[in-house]
Amino acid sequence: MPVKNRFAELLPEITAWRRDLHEHPELLFDTHRTAATVAEKLRAFGCDEVVEGIGRTGVVGVIKGRTDTSGKVIGLRADMDALPITEATGLPYASKTPGVMHACGHDGHTAMLLGAAKYLAETRNFDGTTLVIFQPAEEGGAGGREMVDDGLMDRWKVDEVYGMHNWPGRPVGSFSIRSGPFFAATDQFEISIEGKGGHAAKPHETVDPTVVASHVVLALQSIVSRNADPVEQIVVSVTSFETSSTAFNVIPQRVTLKGTIRTLTKPMRELGEKRLKAIASLTAEAYGAEARINWIVGYPSMVNSEEQTEFAAEVARAVSGDCEDAPLVMGGEDFAYMLESRPGAYILVGNGDTAMVHNAEYNFSDEAIPAGCSWYAEVVERRMPVA
Ligand code: NI
């Protein structure tokens, strides 16, 4: 079964929505215009219920099938937020908001789910209820968690949830997926190393935190090379090294390190935290300094459920003829919170040979829209078939 014909017809309209969203990107929970646009369209499509303000600026649309003997509720989710990046694409519909850009294709995700909602509200060719879920703050604000905490899953008795992300470097409209852990947990740390500042020519009268912090940075790499089982995945990156001195001749009082640890499983996540804390505090102590560690819990690892992943792949094969095994991703994805709450699956749709997401030259490929919309719609029609 190829891409649904209806989406070929709707392509110019959905593309226009996508480009309008692209021109008006919004950050984190400040997706007011986007949410209002989404809600207005869902009402115009004839959704049975449209609720705004779930998880602050999240929007939910309810579409009832022709029948409801299954009693089943399937949630389809898209993210709406953009990134604090200055767009460099030079596109005629480039961002009109300085310093803000849809550099992760969430404009495309939102437009594709709107397209699927329009089709599903038109045809209602399923037995059960579809929830279209539009979430804010995927990029670091845990908008997915906010919606779950706001009662999203219980209020509408959601049985399963499905999500999608575009993926540069894969053929446009092709699909890939994997079962089990897929995207990483994204914890962060800040280590403040307190020494004793003084004259650069009198190091013996100081406790130099730059030397201590340098040892800490190198020792942290032993978590990956010496503590973790080599067949497991863990990333330890120190991304910021800042001293409290700006002078050539002053040994600083303090150095602050920042970074992130990425893991896919709970044991590795616990290992990373435990070893980081021990290495930082005991290395500092060994040199007569003191380390204060702020461990910032991030998104959990995103884990696809086995049965729903197989089903999602089957739908992808029906839509585009194939579905490849996706590699592990050490980036984070806050659909993880929805998948912690309900079984479901997250799939990647190819974006073609474009710049990578989060790059100033990135753009979502509108050619992926028919495949993406078809996948959403087919998930509903095949999972809740009319008897
Ligand atoms: Ni994204």
Domain extent listing, the chain: 2-183+302-383, 185-296
Q: How far, in Å, from the CA of 105 to the mean position of ligand 1? A: 6
Q: How far, in Å, from the CA of 135 to the mean position of ligand 1? A: 12
Q: What is the mean pLDDT of residues 75-84?
A: 98
Beta-carbon contacts of 270 under 8 Å, excluding residues fewer than 6 positions away, are: none
What is the pLDDT confidence band of residue 2, given thresholds at 50, 70 and 90?
low
Decide yes or no: CATH 3.30.70.360 for domain 185-296. yes
- Judge whether 379 and 74 are in contact, CB under 8 Å: yes
Q: How far, in Å, from the CA of 107 to the mean position of ligand 1? A: 10
pTM value?
Answer: 0.94
What is the pLDDT confidence band of residue 222, given thresholds at 50, 70 and 90?
very high
Q: How far, in Å, from the CA of 241 to the mean position of ligand 1? A: 27
Percent of the chain with pLDDT over 70: 99
Is the pLDDT score of 387 beyond 90?
no
CA–CA gap between residue 262 and residue 328 (Å, rounded): 12
- DSSP letters of 105-170? SHHHHHHHHHHHHHHHHHH--SBSEEEEEEES--SSS-HHHHHHHTTHHHHTT--EEEEEEEETTS
Mean pLDDT for the chain overall = 97
Q: How far, in Å, from the CA of 350 to the mean position of ligand 1? A: 13
Q: How far, in Å, from the CA of 216 to the mean position of ligand 1? A: 32
CA–CA gap between residue 19 and residue 82 (Å, rounded): 13
What is the pLDDT confidence band of residue 273, given thresholds at 50, 70 and 90?
very high
Q: What is the mean pLDDT of residues 115-124?
A: 97
- Judge whether 257 and 193 are in contact, CB under 8 Å: yes
Q: How far, in Å, from the CA of 104 to the mean position of ligand 1? A: 5
Q: What is the mean pLDDT of residues 169-173?
A: 97
Region class of 73: left (phi > 0), else alpha (psi between -120 and 50), else beta: beta
CA-nearest of 244, 260, 251, 257 to 283 is 257
CA–CA gap between residue 284 and residue 24 (Å, rounded): 48
Is the pLDDT score of 144 beyond 80?
yes
For residue 151, what are the CA distances in angstroms to 60, 193, 236, 279?
12, 41, 34, 40
Is the pLDDT score of 71 beyond 90?
yes
Is the pLDDT score of 98 beyond 80?
yes
Q: How far, in Å, from the CA of 165 to the mean position of ligand 1? A: 7
Q: How far, in Å, from the CA of 190 to the mean position of ligand 1? A: 25
Architecture per CATH, 2-183+302-383: 3-Layer(aba) Sandwich (3.40)
Q: How far, in Å, from the CA of 364 to the mean position of ligand 1? A: 11
Percent of the chain with pLDDT over 90: 98
Q: How far, in Å, from the CA of 332 to the mean position of ligand 1? A: 9
Is the pLDDT score of 362 beyond 50?
yes
Q: How far, in Å, from the CA of 166 to the mean position of ligand 1? A: 8
Is the pLDDT score of 315 beyond 90?
yes
CA-nearest of 260, 258, 269, 189 to 233 is 269
Q: How far, in Å, from the CA of 295 to the mean position of ligand 1? A: 24
Structure-token match 């028919």, residue found: 370
Q: What b/e readout covers 102-114, taking b as 16+ CB neighbours within 10 angstroms?
A: bbbbbbbbbbbbb
Q: What is the mean pLDDT of residues 54-83?
A: 98
- Judge whether 62 and 156 are in contact, CB under 8 Å: yes
Q: What is the mean pLDDT of residues 363-368?
A: 98
pLDDT at residue 4, as a whole number: 80
Pairing of strands 49-54, 58-64: antiparallel
What is the pLDDT confidence band of residue 1, given thresholds at 50, 70 and 90?
very low
Pairing of strands 290-296, 185-194: antiparallel
What is the pLDDT confidence band of residue 28, given thresholds at 50, 70 and 90?
very high
Q: How far, in Å, from the CA of 186 to the mean position of ligand 1? A: 14
